Amino acid sequence: MSEATSFDIRKILNALPHRYPLLLVDRVERLTKGESIHAIKAVSFNEQFFQGHFPGRPIMPGVLQIEAMAQAAAILGIETLELAGTGKLVYFMGIENAKFRAPVEPGCLLDMHVEFVQKRSRVYKFKGTASVNGKTTSEVEFTAMIADPPAD
């Protein structure tokens, strides 16, 4: 079993190509290579999506919760394979069993727990759960692959 580690934003930026406004992981509380990750998204009222979703009742879109879990999974995969800083990208291949359980509003800390379900060379299956204060907000299973970035 690998030792669990935590990441600050600098290490997250080294692992992911995402940047503002689509970087949806602010901190990694615990990453165990080859197994799982616990990441945090601090949901701020200043997020661009709150301008239109919904005025007067801001709610983080469920698809962005899934994207946040996918970014956490990408960090897990990149770190497990020791590919940070190589420019490799993690692409969605499929999303299954997505369920949205409760709204996520500004001021929340979105806890994301993602684990490997299956690993095959460059294709990986993950299971993720997002929650706020212990209450599940969304859950999903998804498949992703690690690949080289497109040629210029």
**Residues classed as catalytic:** 53
Coil/strand/helix, residue 104: coil
- Residue 39 token pair: 């990441």
CA dihedral 147, 144, 68, 88 (to 10 degrees): -10
Q: Which two tokens stand for residue 99?
A: 């369920």
**Pairwise CA distance, residues 118 & 136, whole Å:** 23
Distance CA 82, CA 120 (A): 16
Strands in the chain per DSSP E: 4-7, 27-32, 36-42, 89-100, 109-120, 123-132, 135-147
